[in-house]
Structure 1
Amino acid sequence: MSDDCLFCKIVAGDIPATVVRDDERTLAFRDVNPQAPVHVLVVPKRHLPDAAAVLADDPTLLSAMFASAVKVTEDEKLGDGYRLVFNTGKGAGQTVFHAHLHLLGGRDLGWPPG
């Protein structure tokens, strides 16, 4: 755990969040600034700064994050489609440097976005 990390504080229960899934290795909670009707963040319970660090440290943790996200899609009934996104690095828009997988759904997300 990192003492100054927002998501570590959420995992520890020091900052409240609307948790939608909690398992041994991951925590999934609603984004406070949703970009879609369903916008959930899936984070590892251990502090790792980004997706590349998760892969380097423990590739099975990436699988656990995706598995958690898929279970949330089932709970949220997103059978029509959803998007899973990692923003890795400042240039990609990552603002919290604790790995997190965005799950977006609940509307037509289309491609290209915008």
Structure 2
Amino acid sequence: MTNDFYCDEVLSGKTEVEKVYETKNVLAYYHTRPYYQVHIVAIPKKHIPSLTNIDDKDQGILFELIEVIQKVAADVEENYGACRVITNLGRYQESKHLHWHIVSGDKRA
């Protein structure tokens, strides 16, 4: 097992998700196990291990990902008054696929 939930489950179609926004290279969807009242995940459709492991050839995908995060975060901020945009690295990154959390509200227990 590769410890990549996003490639193994989401992008393969094994786990269905509720899409928020999608482009050719990026998918944003509601987290399957939300930790916040509003919890959206944005991922590149291409496997990129993490923010610190981006090849120069993937800079365009990173830019597209940031554009999607910006749009989704603006919508969350407008609808809920505030949001956080979070990514994790190293041992904090459970799934080894670059992903960003766009969250708002209280953390769920």
Letter in 2 for 1:96: S
Q: What's the TM-score, normalizing by structure 1?
A: 0.75
Q: What's the TM-score, normalizing by structure 2?
A: 0.78
Preserved CA contact (<8 Å) 2:3 2:96: no
1:94 and 1:4, CA in 2 relative to 1: closer, same or farther beyond 3 A? closer
Identity %: 24
Show CA shifts across 1:32-58 (max 9, x none). 222222111100000111111136552
Query: What residue in structure 2 maps to residue 83 of structure 1?
Result: 84
Letter in 2 for 1:19: K
Preserved CA contact (<8 Å) 1:54 1:61: no
When the two structures are aligned, how many residues end up with a matched partner?
A: 104
Aligned pairs for 1:1-114 (under 5 A) are 5-8=4-7, 9-54=9-54, 56-76=56-76, 78-79=77-78, 80-90=81-91, 93-105=92-104, 107=105
Letter in 2 for 1:98: H
Structure 1 CA distance for aligned equivalents of residues 55 and 39 of structure 2: 23
- Alignment partner of 2:17: what SS? coil
Preserved CA contact (<8 Å) 2:3 2:95: no
Structure 1 CA distance for aligned equivalents of residues 102 and 61 of structure 2: 17
Q: Which is bigger in relative contact order (C-alpha 8 A, separation at least 6)?
A: 2
- Alignment partner of 1:24: what SS? coil
1:29 and 1:13, CA in 2 relative to 1: closer, same or farther beyond 3 A? same
When structure 1 is superposed on structure 2, of 61-70 and 96-105 the one drifting more is: 61-70
Letter in 2 for 1:5: D
Structure 2 CA distance for aligned equivalents of residues 64 and 96 of structure 1: 21
Gapped regions of structure 1 (runs ≥ 5): 110-114
- Alignment partner of 1:51: what SS? coil
1:57 and 1:85, CA in 2 relative to 1: closer, same or farther beyond 3 A? farther
1:49 and 1:60, CA in 2 relative to 1: closer, same or farther beyond 3 A? same
